[in-house]
């Protein structure tokens, strides 16, 4: 039962991500699309935290807090003209994360 619930929640998260990309079809809907993306990510993370094997919540929360702080500060302080380079740098970080996961 819990497995079905998790699979269903991941499906909802996937739909949210697709709606996020759809929001970029026009500038009017683009900002709402960003919110869809955030919602989908939140659903996926919360569902995973509720899974039976995930127990060490302190470690995880500390990790998210550290990463979130670095990301927020960096994204807010950087100059507008340097934004594409920042996106590229972030891409490399998530690739490194995928390597660690593997």
Partner 1 sequence: MMNPNSIVEAATKLANQATQMAQDAASLANQATLLTQQTAGGGSAFISLLTVFVLAVFVGYYVVWGVTPALHSPLMSVTNAVSSVVIVGALIAAGPAGFSGAKVMGFLAVVLASVNIFGGFIVTQRMLAMFKKKQK
Tokens of 87: 């996106």
Cβ–Cβ < 8 Å for 34, 23: yes
C-alpha torsion 51→65→13→94, nearest 10: -110
- Tally Cβ neighbours within 10 Å of residue 23: 19
- Where does residue 31 rank: exposed (0-12), middle (13-18), buried (19+ CB within 10 A)? exposed
> Minimal distance in Å, beta carbon 81 to partner 1?
11
In the bound state with partner 1, the residue whose beta carbon lies nearer, of 5 and 83, is: 83
Q: Name the minimum Å distance from CB 92 to partner 1.
A: 10
- Residues at the site binding partner 1, with contacts judged by CB under 8 A: 13, 17-18, 20-22, 24-28, 30-31, 33-34, 37-38, 40-41, 44-45, 48-49, 51, 53-56, 59-60, 63-68, 70-72, 74-76, 80, 83-84, 86-87, 90-91, 93-94, 96-98, 100-101
Whole-number minimum distance, CB 41 to partner 1, in Å? Answer: 6
Q: C-beta of 16: minimal distance to partner 1 in Å? A: 9
How big is the chain, counted in residues? 102
């Amino acid at each position: 039962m819990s497995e079905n619930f998790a699979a269903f929640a991941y499906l909802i998260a996937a739909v949210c991500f697709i709606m996020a990309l759809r929001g970029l079809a026009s500038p009017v809907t683009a900002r709402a699309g960003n919110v869809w993306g955030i919602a989908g990510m939140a659903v996926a993370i919360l569902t995973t935290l509720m899974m039976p094997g995930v127990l060490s919540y302190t470690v995880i929360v500390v990790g998210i807090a550290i990463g979130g702080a670095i990301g927020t500060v960096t994204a807010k302080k950087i100059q507008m003209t340097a934004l594409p380079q920042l996106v590229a740098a972030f891409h490399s970080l998530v690739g490194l994360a995928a390597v660690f996961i593997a």
